[in-house]
Amino acid sequence: MALLPALLLLLLPLAALAAAAVLLGLPGYDIPPGVNQPAKLRLVLTVLLGTAALGRILEKTGLCSQITFGRYVRQGRKLGLDPKLFIQDVQFNKVPVRVYQPKATSDGPRRGILFFHGGGWVFGSLDTYEKVCRYLSRESDSVVVSVQYRLAPEHKYPAAYEDCLSATQHFLQHLQHYAVDPARVTVCGDSAGGNLAAAVSQTLAGRSDLPRLRAQILIYPGLQALDFNLPSYQQNRGVPLLFRERAAFFALLYLNGDALHMQEVLEGSHIPPDMRLKYRKWVSPDNIPEEFKVRGVKPFRPTDFIAEVYETVKRFCEPNLCPLLAEDSVVHQLPESFILTCEYDVLRDDGLLYKKRLEDNGVPVTWYHLEDGFHGIISLYDYCGVSFPSGKKGLDSVVNFLKSL
């Protein structure tokens, strides 16, 4: 990887041309006019496509894999000292974490936040989410623990879930060391991190040997892999930063370490008819409010079931991987919840469906919907000189919820 900076300079023009060719010459990518800062989003998309093109070049030349290069580009960097925060890298049960603690004196114990980053279980690091975690800690006056869980495809499910659960349990057992109030601990995550936060919250819901979680914060979470043809998947299939095919790709990479049978999964032939019928009460377009179906939605009928494919992906029906499928007996024990969704996001309906499940089970839910938002916008509230005001609004909505606890 030491040669990569030099290689970047040599190959960047070629990657830029590849990205431009994709943007200008091929269908499949969509920047809706109603999205926040469409010109800036197009710029971000061009960079992403250029990165992907360069990654493919590097992989074909044998220098490094496309995923390795993607991680290198996305890894971010640890920022300098923060005048308002103590920041320390430690390990919780052998899981690397970064702890952010406000320096200002407090009248009593502070809130505690376990933060699980996004990135499709494949990308993301402590450095990638430095700005977000610093912002949450400073603005909500909370102790934030950012968790570096193991990534796929090297570490398949349930590795990421187990790391997040292990780090959370350790924190809950040592709250006094960080001057955190046992009655105000929250799990929080975006995208794949929202998935992990929901799974951890469900696992801890019935535990009596640990402090009960005060809340869960799910930022455009991915919560199911049964149906990649819900209205939001149809409407936003080509909207960055998460395309429909990539959502299935990441889920398969996390589950199995490869993306075999991705087409069958997208077509819905990976779930037996009886199981699809069983979960229809929870995973169905019928449970999506009508106002979210007015934009280009067609009835979808899955292709014929393929038993061999189901055998390779049957763990998609496990709630620790797809929290939307948890039984009511678990869901009704969950803590107060905050769910953020974005209109131009394939995962929008996962959040809407979980919101309904929580409310149906008597769980208080605060829902914040960014009508001009897209997947990943929170991370781009202040990114390399490019800012998205809607991302800042979303992040502030999280802070306001935390302050209410």
Q: Locate tokens 């623990």: which residue?
A: 145
Phi, psi of 367 (to 5 degrees): -115, 130
| Catalytically annotated residue among 146, 201, 375, 379 | 375
**Could you confirm whether 375 is annotated as catalytic?**
yes
Q: Is 177 a catalytic residue?
A: no
Tell me which of 163, 190, 227, 345 is the catalytic residue. Answer: 345
The answer to whether 376 and 243 have CB atoms below 8 angstroms apart is no
Single out the catalytic residue among 137, 191, 201, 397: 191
Residue 106 annotated as catalytic: no
Give catalytic residues, as residue numbers.
Answer: 191, 345, 375
